[in-house]
Amino acid sequence: MRHHDRADEPDKRALRREIRSARNRLTADDVRVSATELARRALALPELAQARTVAAYVSVGSEPGTLTLLDALRARGVRVLLPALLPDNDLDWGTYDGEGSLVRVRHGGRMALLEPAGDRLGPDAVTEADAVLLPGLAVDACGMRLGRGGGSYDRVLARLERADAHPALVVLLYDSEVVARVPEEPHDRPVHAVVTPSGVRRFGPAADARHP
């Protein structure tokens, strides 16, 4: 087990700055082409192919694009849940019914987010998901995820744990964002897979037994 302390926080902030800076240099074409490849690879994952409900999110700016994947999942008949940020940084959820069902919401001085416009299902709706797509900035060789820093998905993961729910946890990233090590804290838990435009990497005891 790694040693954890608050000294990891400056390391996390520095890594976040570095990755965001690299993302900001991407062109719209870079993002679009990557989104197509990410969707193709993610749709082939058994964890998503067998899912009836997937909790996901709408990418913004130069984040690895998710809308192509969301539309493909919906076309398969998958129920797709999308988050709506609450004032305390927790997440409520709504159903994705196509790009026209999204509304742009600005939360304080942050970047505006695309959220579901329909009825809210409550924060516990995520516990019904067979797979959860987590936003992130990096994943390391042990499957530890570097989040965006808001803490919303730490709450989601804690809620899943309390409910004894065990969905597949999947992160979509660019190739350069799979790194040797992410600073880790005691509450962090590894993801099951990372999808990048060039491939899929799985983590955990079953990783070696599955397709690469």
Residue 162: half-sphere exposure toward Cβ, Cα within 13 Å: 9
As annotated, the binding site for substrate includes: 58, 63
As annotated, the binding site for ATP includes: 12-16, 145-153
If we measure between CA atoms, which residue out of 51, 66, 81 comes closest to residue 166? 51
As annotated, the binding site includes: 12-16, 58, 63, 145-153
Rounded Cα distance, 142 and 182, in Å = 9
If we measure between CA atoms, which residue out of 195, 149, 204, 153 comes closest to residue 174? 195
Are the C-beta atoms of 139 and 145 separated by less than 8 Å? Answer: yes
Rounded Cα distance, 136 and 171, in Å = 7
